[in-house]
Amino acid sequence: MALDRKTGTAPREFKIIGTRPARPDGIDKVTGRARFGADMSAPGMLVGRVLRSPHAHARIKSIDSSAAEALSGVHAVVTRADFPAPGEDVADILDNCMAGEKALYDGHAVAAVAASSAAVARQALKLIKVEYEPLPHVTDVDAAMAVDAPALHEGRANETVPDGHSPNVMARHAFGHGDIEAGLAQADRVLERSYRTEATHQGYIEPHACLASMGADGQADLWCCTQGHYMVRNTCAAILGITQGQLRVTASEIGGGFGGKTTVFLEPVALMLAKKTGRPVKMVMSRAEVLRATGPTSSSSVDIRLGMTSDGRITAGFAELRYQGGAYPGAPVDMGAMSAFAPYDLENVRTIGWDVVTNRPKAAAYRAPGAPMAAFAVESAIDELARDLGLDPLEVRLKNAAREGTRASYGPTYPAIGLEATLRTARDHPHWSAPLGPNQGRGVACGFWFNFGGDTCVSLNITPDGTVNLSEGNPDIGGSRASMSMMAAEELGIPYDKVRTVIADTGSLGQNEVTDGSRVTFAVGLATIEAARAAKREMCKRAAQVWGIDEEAVIWEDGAARPSGPNAGEHPPMTLADIAAIASNTGGPIAGHYEINAEGAGVSFATHMVDTEVDPDTGAVTILRYTVFQDAGKAVHPSYVEGQFQGGAVQGIGWALNEEYIYDDNGILQNAGFLDYRIPVASDLPMIDAVILEIPNPGHPYGVRGVGETSIVPPLAAIANAVSAATGTRMSDLPMSPPKVLAAIQAR
């Protein structure tokens, strides 16, 4: 959105926004009617399966699929040789979907089959003979940065990487201002500490699944679970060498994504199998495949230098972040480096981030990608210095908090933001002053996320009976169908149940960005409001036509067209239903459309507070109490907002205490299943209190900010600070599993 289109933030009275109507997808999901990725079928459908590398790093010398192709029931086998040479923009994506010269991680796809049944497909995979030349591997980010580390790629580093670094270092990112050394010299105490986090998976319950078909004329259809079917269309078309118009993609319901379904894994393979066979091909991953071959977040290694005066003023902050992004460039270390010190007003601040490749599956987005690991390090360091100086950790954060007009650590100047409000609310909340028992500790931490906008297109159509159909192009992963219906109803002045929002396929609307970055409620909401306003203008025009007065003499108020004043004449209001009923006689169907590359998303801040209890005999950590304080700008549907706050906290709890990728000495993943990769379940958790603050975003007509990302940023540090307080020893390595905590207690 252009700067001159930004709206004011004066309070507005809403009738529907801020209420809690029933969710439109609820009945279908609890009754089993909702159709997810694996629920689609087609006549003549074949089953696709993938053969995956058993090596962490190996040269593929040859692939012999003749025996598999001869097996009864096998209709096609595809390898990398079946795909056209990719363009530079999709080369790594294709290589991740189907290995070329080398297999780069345990689970890397090397071939795929389409067969008449799953049993035949599994048998066919066993008949494919692959000759590998095992190569040295590396899975640790610090080890991968050594100049003598096994190299995954040669000559791939970009121009930001100085000479003399390991070929596994792909890029260097730097942000900040001021003089770090001068700032540290002003401090009464300087802390230097290193922190580590392990890779964690998004943990969505629904595995990746798709159904592809392609006709002899090259026209293709794809049904899949994804966070962005336009992204799937564009990427798959580029990989297969067809035009985007030849491929129509329909998004299914999605059983969780959290950033992990913002790329493609099976879809290009399914389309190529469909092309070779001339039949529809369905592919569904197993849980082991999801964990071995789809993107977790990065593991990280971070060094912090932080200076603080005796009264709690931070004089300088420096962070060096090393993230491994798996086998291909693109670790979110740039966003980690940008967000590390973003909550604070610092004169001297600098961050350096290194993007490093390792023999692991390519990292994918995971709620505020890159930010949780950076916040873990910075917020832990602030907490440790505050406690060492005998200061209140909340007051230290308030003293240094970024406010409107603060120059952010990554460059821009903040407009109206809500960090200070979250801190003051947390300080005044009963949780902060509640008593603690033996072996218990309380931690607090702040978090930040940018929030995105991007390409957005919606269509709002008025039906002849006065109901409204809204089409948007973003899969609903956080309540967007409810929030879009609410915003359309609010703007049109009609009841919520008169609006139905659907997710259109790629052939029905213009380009839409992926559902990620907390963009949808902001960007699609903005477009929905503008589409509704366009429809209102048209309905006012129709009413003016009926009344025989100028369009300018008609206003829209309380769901109806009305004369703007006495000079416009005495005409009874015409409701939306009245105007819709005679639309055919006044010019035809009535609709509102809006397309935009949305800007002005507005940054987001949160403060989390958590109480933990540590068993001194086992090192087991129990979460006793958890409270989230976050600025939502304007909570369109408060229940969904609370759910986002709570969901981010829960995933942060898993990241902090249990979840990690465990590789053996051969680079083979040891816990590729939910039995050994343990995500939190209800019995692990307390009730999580969610406190919604509303500091309006001036870039949105209703003041909306995204809320889905920020809530996962503070938990790692907040929990580590609580455990450190409970044990009396600083925890700097995640996850804080019982053996690690017990070892720290014993070492104390």
pLDDT in tens, 261-278: 999 999 999 999 999 999
- Domain of 522, in residue numbers: 453-598
Q: By CB neighbour count within 10 A (0-12 exposed, 13-18 middle, 19+ buried), where does 21 fall?
A: middle
Backbone angles phi, psi at 254, to 5 degrees: -125, 125
C-beta separation of 108 from 293 below 8 A: yes
Helix-then-strand count for the chain, H and E = 21, 26
Query: Could you please report the per-residue DSSP string of 728-744?
Result: TS---BSS--HHHHHHH
pLDDT in tens, 567-600: 888 999 999 999 999 999 999 999 999 999 999 9
Question: For the chain, what percent of residues have pLDDT higher than 70?
Answer: 99
Res 40: pLDDT: 96
Count the domains in the chain. Answer: 1
Tell whether 510 is covered by a domain.
Answer: yes
693 by DSSP, 3-state: which? strand
For residue 732 the two structure tokens come to: 């700097």
Confidence of residue 12 (pLDDT cuts 50, 70, 90): confident
- Please report whether residue 346 resides in a domain: no
**Which residues does 521 contact at the CB level (< 8 Å), separation at least 6?**
478, 479, 480, 483, 636, 704, 706, 707
The model's pLDDT over 668-715, given as tens digits with 9 standing for 90+, comes to 999 999 999 999 999 999 999 999 999 999 999 999 999 999 999 999
- Supply the pLDDT for residue 493: 98
Is 366 within the bounds of a domain? no
HSE of 219, CA atoms in CB hemisphere, 13 A: 2
Please say if the pLDDT value at position 717 is more than 70: yes
H or E, element range at 523: helix 520-547
Does residue 740 lie in a domain region?
no
Pairwise CA distance, residues 414 & 410, whole Å: 11
Helical pair 715-727 and 638-657, crossing angle rounded to 10 deg: 50
Is a pLDDT exceeding 90 seen at residue 260?
Answer: yes
Output the average pLDDT for the chain: 96
Predicted confidence (pLDDT) at residue 521 exceeds the cutoff of 80:
yes
CA pair distance 651, 671, nearest whole angstrom: 18
Residue 9 has pLDDT above 60, yes or no: no
What is the value of pTM for the model shown? 0.97
Predicted pLDDT of residue 2: 33
**What pLDDT sits at residue 314?**
98
Residues sharing a CB contact under 8 Å with residue 627, sequence separation 6 or more, in sequence order: 426, 429, 431, 608, 609, 610, 688, 689, 690, 691
Tell whether 318 is covered by a domain.
no
Summarised one tens digit per residue, pLDDT across range 655-674 is: 999 999 999 999 999 999 99
- The DSSP string of 120-133 is HHHHHHHH-EEEEE
Residue 4 has pLDDT above 60, yes or no: no
The bridge status of strand 281-284 relative to strand 46-52 is parallel
pLDDT over 80 (residue 5): no
**574 belongs to a structural domain:** yes
CA distances from 386 to 310, 312, 430 (A): 9, 7, 21
pLDDT, tens digit, for every residue of 197-220? 999 999 999 999 999 999 999 999
Please give the distance of CA 538 from its chain centroid, rounded to a whole number. 37
pLDDT for the residue numbered 119: 98
Q: With respect to residue 525, please indicate whether it lies within any of the assigned structural domains.
A: yes
Q: What is the pLDDT of residues 290-307, one digit of tens each?
A: 999 999 999 999 999 999
State which amino acid sits at residue 126. Answer: K
Q: Please give the pLDDT value at position 6.
A: 43
Q: Is residue 518 part of a domain?
A: yes
Integer Cα distance of 272 and 236 in angstroms: 10
How is residue 741 written in tokens?
Answer: 């905590």
End-to-end CA distance of the chain: give it in Å, rounded.
Answer: 55
The position carrying tokens 């078909």 is 213
pLDDT of residue 11: 61
CATH of residue 471's domain is: 3.30.365.10
